[in-house]
Amino acid sequence: MLRIDGSLLEGGGQIVRSAVALSAVTGTPVEIFAIRKNRSRPGLANQHCAAVRAVAEACHARVTGNTPGSCRLSFIPGSIVRRDISVDVGTAGSVPLVIQAWLPVALEEGGSLQVQGGTEVWFSPTIDYFTEVFLPALGPAGAGVRVEVIRRGYFPVGGGIVRVTAEPAALPRVTVGGATGIGIRSCSSNLPDHVADRQAASARAYLIRETSEEYPVSIRRSEGPGTGSSCTVWKGAKGSCALGKRGLPAEKVGEAAAAGLVAGLRAGGDVDLHLSDQLLVYLARGGGSYTAPEFTLHARTMCWLLSLFGLPVTATERDTVEFQR
């Protein structure tokens, strides 16, 4: 059994989510200890438990320790099967991060996953970043993934529902060349219509001023158990998102999202800082290469973790960092 220290490097939920996914696709039993040891609330949180459940159901894994607050997890994978799975985070924990743990496993045999939780939450990609930046960067594998946002969920209530269906896919070499989309998506729940409109207008004006380029706008308004707003902007394999909060003008939300994208575009590299680590599982298994503006702690963590499973990725740092397998 492969033993993994969950306190090293990034020391957070990324290690747990990625380790169980790699365990499933490689058939390697794992034990993760000292999970989130250095965080203010050590151990597994609800969203980590939900991710483990999703992966476990996709591969008939035997799991012990998958409860909130647990600092040790044992995961013994079985055979990957096509299944229809449903998990409820139980909080506003990130739906996209649960999906990201399940997807490498689901691409083996196909299947579906319905997740209830937060679709747009702090310190996590929005569901729109997942659909418009992450999936296109996977090329043919991402093209076989369908996402239905049934209901959006915002912190602190959550209650969003997303259903994802994946078809089996042989992982191609990663080049990110297929990510060519461009756009602005402004969303709100239980707020006046003008909130999403103002976010989008502010993002659009900023992008025109800084890039001299027109970005198509899409608006999503909904009613759900919680109240909130988000703005996601993207171009190719780079994206940025910002969330609204009480007292923060809608214009500031749109501008923050746009400014994040402009900074990413000017920083160089094929992908943005966040996508650089999210693609590493696929790069390690399918081969290929791409560049990113810098070697982030999350990317370093993924490279370390992949090496433990016998899937080393080379990271070469120059003006940008090149990841290659």
Active site residues: 298
Check if the beta carbon of residue 123 is closer than 8 Å to that of residue 151.
no
Distances (CA, A) of 283 to 102, 215, 220, 244: 16, 29, 33, 34
Separation CA 267–CA 262 (nearest Å):
9
Check if the beta carbon of residue 257 is closer than 8 Å to that of residue 203.
yes
Phi, psi of 272 (to 5 degrees): -85, 175
16 burial via Cβ count (<10 Å: 0-12, 13-18, 19+) = buried
- Enumerate residues 6+ apart whose C-beta is below 8 A from 205: none
| Nearest residue to 241 via CA among 137, 152, 132 | 132
Residue type, 142: G
Distances (CA, A) of 171 to 80, 129, 139, 195, 286: 16, 21, 9, 40, 5
Strand duo 2-5 + 30-33: pairing = parallel
